[in-house]
Amino acid sequence: MFTGIIECIGIVEKIEKNGTNTDFWISSPISTALKADQSVAHNGVCLTVEAVQDNWHLVTAIAETLQKTNLGQLTPGNKINLERCMVMNGRLDGHLVQGHVDCTAICTEVSNLNGSWEFSFLFPSAFAPLVIEKGSICVNGISLTCFAVTENSFKVAIIPYTYTHTNMGLIAINTEVNLEFDIIGKYILRMETLKK
């Protein structure tokens, strides 16, 4: 379980195909503190650390993960948002995030507002019931609040700290991002569906 508060940015150092899987070697400020079997969110995708070497760590994405996320588009040198799993004895600064990406979205607009930024995203309308005005959403692993919500789009506002301490500053028009919808909304929708 995660909070959507990004801990640091990692760099994709090496990518290797292994059958239908893809192995990623990531360097980061937290890599040396990791150990095998730990869960770490990579652009919001929960992956298991398999090995640690110097300031690099190894994770593997299976075919299902590659199909539903933007990890398959990564190339060496790309920056990736990282968050270690939450500790259950502290504050929850973002919202409850599982690291289970639901779909991807496409950036359709970036507006520099002279001190903050607004990003617009287009997502599959099948997920419309899970996106609400001023609700929580996870974009590339970042806990954000959405607004200007339509059936298949929403906006988020980004403060300077988030812009410089995550990979939001690298997102441009047509960039694909990972989305995870609020788990509470998913359960409510499921209960309503079963009542019908």
Active site residues: 2, 39, 46, 48, 63, 100, 145
Contact at 8 Å (CB) between 11 and 26?
A: yes
Cβ count within 10 A of residue 135: 18
For tokens 């990004």, the residue is 6
The strand order across the sheet containing 39-42 reads 45-48, 39-42, 79-84, 8-18, 21-27, 56-61, 51-53
Residues 148-184 as b/e (b if ≥16 CB within 10 A, e otherwise) read ebeeebbbbbbeeebbebbbbbebeeebebbbbbbbe
| DSSP track, 112-137 | E-SS-EEEEEE--GGGGGG--TT-EE
List the one residue out of 157, 149, 167 whose CA is nearest residue 114.
157
Query: Residue 151 and residue 2: Cα distance in Å, rounded?
Result: 27
Contact at 8 Å (CB) between 138 and 144?
A: yes
How far from the centroid of its chain's Cα atoms is residue 54's Cα? Answer: 25
